[in-house]
């Protein structure tokens, strides 16, 4: 089982990778804004895959707040 510092290091590395990918995509879109629709549909799909498992492990919120 990884220790907390290892987990923090891994999370930081993953965050940096995601930030770099986001900046690359922004640069790509700035060159050809007609691709924004394609990027949007891809982003929704990627976000679903990234967060679906995470959300399924979150505690359910009650309807009362």
58 in any annotated domain: no
What digits encode the pLDDT tens for the residues 23-65? 887 787 788 878 777 777 777 776 666 566 555 555 555 555 4
Got the DSSP string for the chain?
---HHHHHHHHHHHHHHHHHHHHHHHHHHHH-GGGHHHHHHHHHHHHHHHHHHHHHTSPPPPTT-
pLDDT of residue 2: 58
The answer to whether residue 38 sits within a structural domain is yes
Q: What is the tally of structural domains in the chain?
A: 1
In a domain, residue 60? The reply is no
End-to-end Cα, the chain, rounded Å: 35
Q: Could you read off the pLDDT of 1-20 as tens digits, one per residue?
A: 556 777 888 888 888 888 88
Model-level pTM? 0.47
pLDDT of residue 53: 52
The number of CA neighbours under 13 Å toward the Cβ of 29 is 14
pLDDT of amino acid 65? 45
Domain encompassing residue 17: 4-53
Confidence at residue 57, expressed as pLDDT on a 0 to 100 scale? 55
């Amino acid at each position: 089982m990884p220790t907390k510092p290892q987990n923090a290091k891994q999370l930081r590395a993953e965050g940096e990778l995601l930030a770099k990918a986001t900046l690359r995509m922004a640069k790509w879109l700035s060159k050809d804004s007609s691709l924004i629709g394609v990027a949007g549909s891809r982003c929704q799909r990627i976000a679903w895959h990234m967060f679906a498992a995470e959300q399924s492990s979150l505690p359910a919120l009650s309807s009362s707040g």
